[in-house]
Structure 1
Amino acid sequence: MDAYSEQRKNGGNKLKETEIREQVLALCEVLDNKKALDILAVNVADKTIIADWFIIASGRSTTQVKALCDELEEKAAERGLIARRKEGYQEGRWIVVDFGTILVHLFHPEEREYYNLERLWVDDPQHCINYSREHAE
C-alpha cells in the first residue's frame, strides 16, 4: 500500500510534515543521483490544495527528462510512493508526476525558463530547499 492509500485508510489524516519532508528529500536525492539540474523543492501547503510540496528539476534533453521520470517512479515505488498520475511523458519537455502530497515537475530547460514556476510559487526562500546547491560536492 502506498503512503497516500495508507493515509486515506487511517481516516484521511495527513502525513506528518516531517515524514513528507523526508519523502521530498528522498525524491530530490533520486533526481540528483540521475544528474538532474537545478533541483528545487518548494513548500506550497499554504498556497494550494493540490499538493504540499512541488519539486522542480530539469534535464538536459527530452531523453534525460524521461529517464529522470522513469527513475523517480521506480525509486519512489521502492519507498511506497506510487505515482497517482503522470502527464507530459510522451513529449518529454514538461512531465508532471503526482505523488499525492508531492507534485514533481520535470522540465526541459527551455520549458522551465518559459513557464518559470519558481516565479509563481516561491515568495519566501525559507519555504524552499535548493537541493542542487545544498548538496553540491
Structure 2
Amino acid sequence: MTDLDKRLSIIVKACDDKRAFNIKVLNISKLSSIGDYFVIASGNSAVQVSAIADAVEEKMAKAGFILIQKEGHNSSTWVLLDYGDIIVHIFKKEDRDFYNLERLWSDSDELDVNLLISQE
C-alpha cells in the first residue's frame, strides 16, 4: 500500500466510523493543481459534520499526517480539511446538494470507497 493509499484509507475509514454517508473519493490530479484527491462525505447535522471532521483530524494526526489548513469548523455545515494532495470536504446534506462538487468535478475519476475501507 502506498503512502497516498494509506492516507486515503485512514480518511475514508474515519468518515465511515462516524456514519458519514455518500462518501466519494475523486481523483482530480489531471484536472487541477490544487490537489490530487477530493474526499467528499455527508452528515445529517452540524454536530455529525463536526464529529466526522474531528475523527479525520484525530486519526490522521495519530498516523503522523499534518493538517495544513481547516476551514468551516465553526459553522459545521461544510468543513474543509486540507492535507496538501488530499482535500477533505464534509458537508451537511443540504449544503452538499447545493454545492454539488461531484457535478463540478464530473470529469474526475472516482475511486472505489469500499476498497479503501477494507484496506489494512
Q: TM-score, length-normalised on structure 1?
A: 0.79
Distance in 2, matches of 1:133 and 1:46, equals 22
Unaligned runs of 5+ in 2: none
Deviation at 1:133, TM superposition (A): 9.5
Pair 1:95 & 2:88 matched: no
Question: 1:26, 1:134 → 2: CA distance?
Answer: 8
Query: Structure 1 residue 18: deviation in Å?
Result: 3.5
Could you give the per-residue CA deviations for residues 96-137 of structure 1, whole angstroms, max 9, x where no partner exists?
Answer: 00011100000000000000000011325xx212426986xx
Aligned residue in 1 for 2:111: 129
Count of paired positions = 118
SS at match of 2:88: strand
Alpha carbon RMSD of aligned pairs, Å? 2.1
Structure with the higher strand share, 1 or 2: 2
CA contact (8 A) 1:32 1:132 kept: no
Q: Is 1:64 the counterpart of 2:58 in the alignment?
A: no
- Which one has more relative contact order, counting CA pairs under 8 Å at least 6 apart? 2
Q: Distance in 2 between matches of 1:29 and 1:134?
A: 8
Cα distance in 2 between the residues matched to 1:45 and 1:81? 20
Instruction: Report if aligned partners of 1:92, 1:108 keep a CA contact under 8 Å in 2.
Output: yes
Q: Which amino acid aligns with 1:74?
A: E
Structure 1: tracts of 5 or more residues without a match: 1-16
Q: Deviations over 1:38-78 (max 9, x none)?
A: 10000111111111100000011000000111111000011
Aligned partners of 2:43, 2:97: CA distance in 1, in Å?
12
* Stretches (4+) displaced over 6 A: none
2:88 aligned partner: 104
